[in-house]
Structures are given as structure tokens and as C-alpha cells.
Amino acid sequence: MDAAPSTAQQPAHPVERTVITPPGRLNLPAWRALWGAREVAVRLAQRDIIVRYRQTFFGITWVIAQPLVSAGIFTIVFGQIADMSSGATPYFLFSLAGMLAWNLFNGSLGRASSSMVGNQALVQKVFFPRLLVPVSSLASVVVDFLVALVLAVVLLFVYGINPGWPVLLLPVWVLLILLVGTGLGLAAAAYMVKYRDVQYVLPWLTQILLYASPVAYALSEVPQGLRWLFDINPVTWFLEAFRWSLLGTDTPVTWQVVALAVAAPLIFLAGTLVFQKNEREFADYI
């Protein structure tokens, strides 16, 4: 008796195969893997925003109070005691705009740098592209900035200041500031996993940079002998551009605008490469 021909059963669903390839020369992130794990970034961002305002008595009022109080102190110290000039712009608004740009930079730098250590339990137990952790931390920084920006816009109407068409470039400066802060934060996050000294040194350096940059005072008040130090400072570049768009102050120097547009993506790329280079060792050190 001839045997009946057998038919091989086909799987109901195609089998997904994961091919692990060695990193390339630049070790760039696997963009397809990042997109595939985008839900992780969304959940992390939602958690950061919720945790930031949970069990706080004043809630979002802290976001508004911080730049207001800082701008008020700077106005008293630099505008009245030191008698520095802010041009045609009221000193309070001038310092408030500087604090908005600085807080955006400092927030993205600080949140990104501490993100890996702050999520060490998740990093040790679950596999996903680690780059999503510092990137997702930017959500709460942007929310804080937008809330404070609404207050600044209200004050513009109160003081009767019309910045004109440069206000349309404000989102460009915001993006470039985030790129600079996040790029530095990615590099700091990679080294903070190995060397916890970074978490102590970084706030000290940013505090020095705050007063070494024209956040609370105008660039025109800097002595000519020291002006070159401020001209090569990237923080000066985005502060001048940000104030120009928000307050209608003097147009920033062209070469500084070009330098900011070129340097910001390069800083972000360099920080990403440093982060990717050390990613394989995160679970061992953290």
C-alpha cells in the first residue's frame, strides 16, 4: 500500500528573526530599533511628567516661580545695585528671557546626564535602546519651558513690547538649545555611569557657566578685554538669538548665529557617539 503523501504544516505567522550585527565605524544608533521601541520613550516621558508634579502642594506654580524669582534677584543685584544697563528693554524682562533660555539648556543637560543612574533598575532588567532614556527625559523640560514661556508672553503684552517677525525663529533657537544641552548631557550620562563624580562636578560647572555667560546682564556690559571669552561661548550665541526673537533686542552677530546652527547638531552627534560607545558597559557598571 502506497503511503499517503504528507503535507508540511506551515506556521500561522511568520517567524521574526533578530540579526545582531557588529557596530559600524561611527557606532550610530539603530534608528529602526529606536522607532520600534518608541512606546518605551512615551511611557518614560509620561512617568517623568507625572512624578515631577505628584505630591507637590503648589504643583506647576514652581515652574513659574523659579524664573520669576531668579529674574527679580538679578534685576535687584545687577540692574539696581550694580547699575547695569539692559538697553531699551526693562531689566526684569531682559533677565527673565535669559533665565528661560538658560533653564531650557540647564534642564536638558541635567535631566539627560542623570537619566541613566536614575533609571538603573530599568536598565539592568529590561533590554531596549538605552538612548531612549535620556531623550525621553526632555519631555518634562519642554513642558516646564512652555509653561514659563506663556508667562513671558503675558508680560510682553503688559510691558507693550512687540518683538516683530524674529519671534517666528523662536522654535529654531529652542531646538538648537535642546540639541546643545542634550548632546552634552548624553556624554555626561555615559561617564556618570562609570564615574559618579560627574554628578557632583557637573552642577558646579554649570553654576560657573551661569555667571560666565550673559544671562543676568547684557553682553554690552562686558569689558572689551574680556569680550572675546564671551564671543566664543556657545551659551552667548543662543542667549543673544533667543532674546532677539522674544524681546526684539539687537540682531545677533551673523557668525555667531551660523556657528550655533553648525555647532548644535555637531555637539548632539558627538554626545550620541560617546553614549553609544559606552552603552554596552552600562549594565555592568550601573
Q: Is 265 in contact with 243 (CB distance < 8 Å)?
A: no
pLDDT category of residue 81 using cuts at 50, 70 and 90: very high
Helices 170-194 and 91-118 pack at an angle, to 10 degrees, of 40
Compute CA distances 187 → 118, 243, 274, whole Å.
Answer: 16, 28, 6
Choose between 20 and 99: higher pLDDT: 99
Encoded amino acid at 59, one letter:
G
Q: Is 100 in contact with 148 (CB distance < 8 Å)?
A: yes
Q: Is 181 in contact with 112 (CB distance < 8 Å)?
A: yes
Tell me which residue of 65, 185, 56 sits closest to 115, measured CA to CA: 185
DSSP state of 79: I
pTM of the predicted protein model = 0.85
Tell me how far apart the alpha carbons of residues 89 and 224 are, in angstroms, rounded to a whole number. 22
pLDDT category of residue 1 using cuts at 50, 70 and 90: very low
**Residue 9 CB: number of other CB atoms within 10 A?**
6
Choose between 233 and 15: higher pLDDT: 233
> What are the tens digits of pLDDT across the range 218-276?
998 999 999 999 999 999 999 999 999 999 999 999 999 999 999 999 999 999 998 88
> What are the tens digits of pLDDT across the range 23-72?
555 566 666 767 777 777 778 788 777 777 775 666 677 778 888 899 99
What percentage of the chain carries pLDDT values higher than 90? 50
At which residue does the C-alpha cell 528661560 appear?
Answer: 100
> What are the tens digits of pLDDT across the range 200-223?
999 999 999 999 999 999 998 999
Model pLDDT, residue 23: 52
**Residue 23 CB: number of other CB atoms within 10 A?**
13
Tell me which residue of 173, 111, 179 sits closest to 139, measured CA to CA: 111
> What are the tens digits of pLDDT across the range 145-202?
999 999 999 999 999 999 999 999 999 999 999 999 999 999 999 888 888 888 899 9
DSSP state of 250: S
